[in-house]
Structure 1
Amino acid sequence: AARRGGLTGLFDHPALFGVNADANPDNNRLPYDGRFITKDIDTSYANGNNFNKLKQGGAALTLEYDLSRNATLKSITAYRQLRWKVAMDLDGSPLNFLNTSFPMFQKQFSEELQLTGNALDDRVKYVLGAYYFTESGNMRDFVTFAEGLLQVDGPNNLATRNFAFYGQVDYKVTERLGLTLGGRYTRENKEFEGFQSDLNGLNYKLAQAFGNPDCASLDPISDRCRIDNGFPNPGQPLRYYIAGVQKQTFSNFSPKVGLQYHPGDDVMIFANWSRGYKTGGWTTRLSAPLPYAPTFGPEKAETWEAGVKSTLLARRLQINAASFLTNYKGIQLNFQQGVSPVIQNAGDARIKGFELEMTALAARGLSLTGSVGYTDAYYTNVLAGAAVAPSALQVGVFKGATLPKTPKWKLNFGPRYEAELGGHGTIVLLGDVTYTSAVKNDTEGTYLLMRPANALINASVTYKAPSGNWDVTLGGTNLTDKRLIVTGQAQLAGGPIFGTYNRPAEWYARLGVKF
């Protein structure tokens, strides 16, 4: 399995990659074999494109006008654009085996009008808004497999226009009881045109090799050969995507209801119910030609939450706790289909759990913060097209399986100590440790990409000058140099399983000056 830099774990499944089980390199049967295992996650034999270049900018203008003593109108106008080029030699070898590059351009414009105010002697606070958003852009996928045997070239054009109206009212029913009502209506119009092609015409060459008489000559490619191989566009025999601009329209209303009760001045009990929405779109990478543009639908979520917020012991102790339950419909996840990663609706899922946060002033200058989070996230229903059977390589996707990137437990503890140095300034000692239980790094639950349970430690020391005009900090992150896979992909059709590791132990110094 190719991982960030090195190829580690390849011999776990030697037969998959042509590596002979007797470990004799003279018996390796494929060009992509054990020669490229460095057993070092920070080094590899990759010599293809590896870069990341980003240019972005924008401008924003905020205007406020007081309509009255109790009402304010605000306008927020913004424009943003970015140019991004990224490429990576994912196979970790000197072969042109799995090389990727993605240039992208995007521009956005948004306008928001917001009316805020209060009424009935501050018993009612409200916000009403209208939002307009438009974006357009293009991205080009270029991926070469197996020394160029398959050359995926995928220019894509996309555009979105979004209108939304929202409002929220907070009403103080009594001095102790509050009610929140809100909602947002969204309507989106989307356009997409995909131009993905196989520049090497692999489908046609395979058809010719297997004796298809319509593909006996590939120069030029006959229309009959194009039809035999499922390519949809006359005159464009290499183009996978159906020609023309595809359009989708989405609309949604997401309500919210909340209650807040104050049994005392230092305690608030709350309960909320809300619905949420994520828009749909298109699959921008195909593994084979199709007579239609494959889409995925919107994702919807319904959430219940209840908890308490408190400040106790003369403000020396703060404790917040909450429990939650979210049901997803049409949850969107990234799946590997053939050589292509695609977004699709996996089915329905449920996430439930609780969170507990605490901040305490333990002694003069010493404060302690801590948190505990528990999450149980699993599929309640899996669509037939998203199901993945368990195998020796992967956990699979099925009803009851856990969701990716969602640890069961997450705990954090951070002490902070601040001491005066007798008129010579102040010193601040800060540390934190975060424990995270094991997680899947990909939707299919590839075993080689699993992230084990771990604890990461950071610490710093800061000196503040007596004048308060400058300070200097020395610190370190990931002090135990724990290396973990944070993302990855099982590119089984293309060959390797590859992943990216977190940053190693790092040290830093920072100087701050106030003018």
Structure 2
Amino acid sequence: MLKINPNGLGPTVFNTVIAPTLVPTLGPRAFYNDQYITGDFYSTYGDFNRSKSNLDVWGLGLTANWKVADWLSIKSITAYRTSKSDNDRDGDGSPLVILGPATLIDQKQFSQELQFSGETANRRFKWIAGLYYLRESIDFVAPVNISFVDTDNRAIIENRSYAAFGQASFSVTDRLRVTGGLRYTRDKKRNAPTIIATRLIDPATLTPVPPQALPIPFLISDESRTDSKVTPAATIDYKFSDDVFGYFTYSQGFKSGGFSQRIAFPRQKAPSFDPETVKSYEAGLKLELLDRRLRLNTAAFYTDYSNLQVIIFNNVEPQTQNGGAATLKGVEFEMQSRPVDGLSVNFSAGYLDAKYDSINPGTLIPANAKLAYTPEWTLSGSIAYEAQTSIGTITPRLDWSYRSAVRFDALNTPELVQPGYHLLNANLTYVDPSEKWRVALGVTNLTNRHYLVGGFSDLPATGFVDGTYARPREWYLTVRRNF
């Protein structure tokens, strides 16, 4: 727990209506305020709902290939998967009931893809075309306990996705190649929620609704939407030499719209959001030097988003909204080297300039907000030496990474801004001469750095900000036997 606002809607209702009834048992701890901030990264007072995350996944897949002729091959990819998840958490970090969400999801999906491919003109012309189908059904149950309301959230969700695609590449010369592709996607989504309140305290009057007036329907509807888009892609690449390769690519992307599921107030229909589209440009060079002991890759990119989909907590409810238009541009660099036999030295760097170009009216995003999850700098490096001995191979390895400041919510909540940090991991690996046994001893987060990896903020309604921290320093030992 990082911050508590006792004047938020949830804490106000709880401290006014419910807390006085708990004073004989809990005393001052019956009131929700800063006393429940532990000041420790890995401890919490939350014990009303024990946090858990259970996931069971089962699936089948079948891939079949058929060589019809020299110029035609057919591939079939069939897959079926089911998953069941049961998640629970004590969101408010206290033994009180300010926010206790749970989620149970039973998901089933079937997909089928057919690919037709071939090559002609002495393999200078290569092509692929195909069809794709996805059918998904979700039984979504999300009971929520909030200080002023308990809701039974249920929804039956049916998704269908259809696509047709094609791509062809032509080698104009031995060094120059052009590639073009096109994809048509059509997504259909049906949302049938049934959301009722089983307990309710009127936030305006701070009086409980009589039991005989319950349950109260918050949302009972059946909605559907269909989104479709044609997205092209084009690439031109050129081999300047056997060791230098350059390319330029342009592509468009598409993410369909949908519906938000958690509802805490009466509504005529579930909040919905529109499709997100993106245009991407990238140019790069790939080099192999010094008899392939040194590999260098560099790229520059420009990405233009429209109707960017972001998650915003709006009066308790987590809603996916279209935040606006955004631009991401940057450069990436990667080096892989083996200066001498056995020694590997690697390094990578990325610079990202991410910003909103415009923010859609009606969202809660501040005018000067920066995009979430977009660090300006990302750096990493590693060094390893593979020592050949009479008893086997011994390899010490050290990994380093750096990530500059990053924001973990669309509203740029100050408590959810993680400053830049460095990480170190190390391991020592032994492989016996037969290569049948492998033993590795290692440590992650060597310097025991405390840093955020996510968080939640809704100060006006639920009244708190909480964060999720990465795991502390950990040692591990792995033993593997190859047969």
State the TM-score, normalized to the length of structure 2. 0.92
Q: Which residue of 1 aligns with 2:473?
A: 505
Query: In structure 1, what is the Cα distance between the partners aligned to 2:444 and 2:302?
Result: 33
- Of the three residues 219, 225, 246, the one matched with 2:223 is 246
Question: Cα distance, 1:39 vs. partner?
Answer: 2.0
Instruction: Measure the CA separation in 2 of the matches of 1:366 and 1:208.
Output: 69
Match of 1:124 in 2: 125
- Counterpart position of 1:279: 256
Q: Show CA shifts across 1:380-416 (max 9, x none).
A: 010111143xxxxxxxx32x53200100000001112
Query: Residues 108-158 of structure 1, C-alpha deviation per residue, up to 9 Å, x if partnerless?
Result: 000011112211101012111111100001211222122xx3113211111
The one of 445, 448, 470 equivalent to 1:481 is: 448
- 1:409 paired residue number: 377
What is the identity, as a one-letter code, of the residue corresponding to 1:414? S
Opposite residue 445 of structure 1, the aligned amino acid is N
SS in 1 for 2:356: strand
4+ long deviations beyond 3 Å: 13-18, 26-30, 205-210, 217-221
Residue of structure 1 aligned with 2:306, choices 309, 313, 329? 329
Say if 2:369 and 2:412, in contact at 8 Å, map to a contact too.
Answer: no
What's the CA shift string for 1:164-222, capped at 9, x where partnerless? 0111111101111100101111111110011222221334x856959xxxxxx95654x
Residue 295 of structure 2: aligned partner:
318
- Write out per-residue CA displacement over residues 362-390 of structure 1, whole angstroms, 9 at most, x where no aligned residue: 222111111010011111010111143xx
What residue number does 2:358 align with? Answer: 381
Aligned residues: 466
Answer yes or no: is 1:52 the counterpart of 2:53.
yes
Check the 8 A contact 1:60/1:77 in 2, yes or no.
yes
Give the C-alpha shift of residue 485 in structure 1.
1.4
C-alpha deviation, 1:9, in angstroms: 5.3
| Paired position in structure 1 for 2:73 | 72
Map of 2:388 onto structure 1: 420
1:462-505 deviation per Cα after TM superposition (whole angstroms, max 9, x unaligned): 11101111111001111111111111111221121111111111
Q: 2:271 touches 2:319 (CA, 8 Å); kept in 1?
A: no
Instruction: State the secondary structure of the residue aligned to 2:362.
Output: helix
Following TM superposition, by how much is the alpha carbon of 1:293 offset from its aligned partner in structure 2, in angstroms? Answer: 3.0
Equivalent residue number for residue 18 of structure 2: none
State the partner residue of 2:422: 455
Q: TM-score, normalised by structure 1?
A: 0.86
Percent identity of equivalent pairs:
35
Name whichever structure is richer in strand by fraction.
Answer: 2
Q: 1:468 aligns with which of 435, 439, 452?
A: 435
CA distance in 1, matches of 2:325, 2:455: 24
Partner residue in 1 for 2:337: 360
Distance (Å, rounded) in 2 between the aligned partners of 1:77 and 1:27: 61
Contact 1:78 1:111 in 2 (8 A): yes
Q: Is this contact kept in 2: 1:491–1:498, CA < 8 A?
A: no
Show the 5 A alignment for 1:75-114. Answer: 75-114=76-115
Cα-Cα RMSD = 2.2
CA contact (8 A) 2:3 2:466 kept: no
SS of the aligned residue for 1:362 comes to coil
Which residue does the alignment assign to 2:176? 177
AA paired with 2:65? E
- Tell me if the contact between 1:114 and 1:127 (Cα under 8 Å) persists in the aligned partners: yes
Residues 249-273 of structure 1 show CA distances to partners (whole Å, capped at 9, x for unaligned) of: 1111110010001111111110001
Provide closer, same or farther for how the CA distance between residues 74 and 61 of structure 1 changes in structure 2, counting only shifts above 3 A: same
Distance 1:150 1:9, change over 3 A: closer
- Contact kept? 1:182, 1:256, Cα under 8 Å: yes
- Indicate yes or no: 2:126 matched with 1:165: no
1:61 aligns with 2:65: no
Given that 1:186 and 1:252 are in contact with CA atoms closer than 8 Å, whether structure 2 keeps it comes out as yes
| Structure 2 CA distance for partners of 1:29 and 1:83, relative to 1, 3 Å | closer
Q: Which runs of 5+ in 2 are unaligned?
A: 13-25
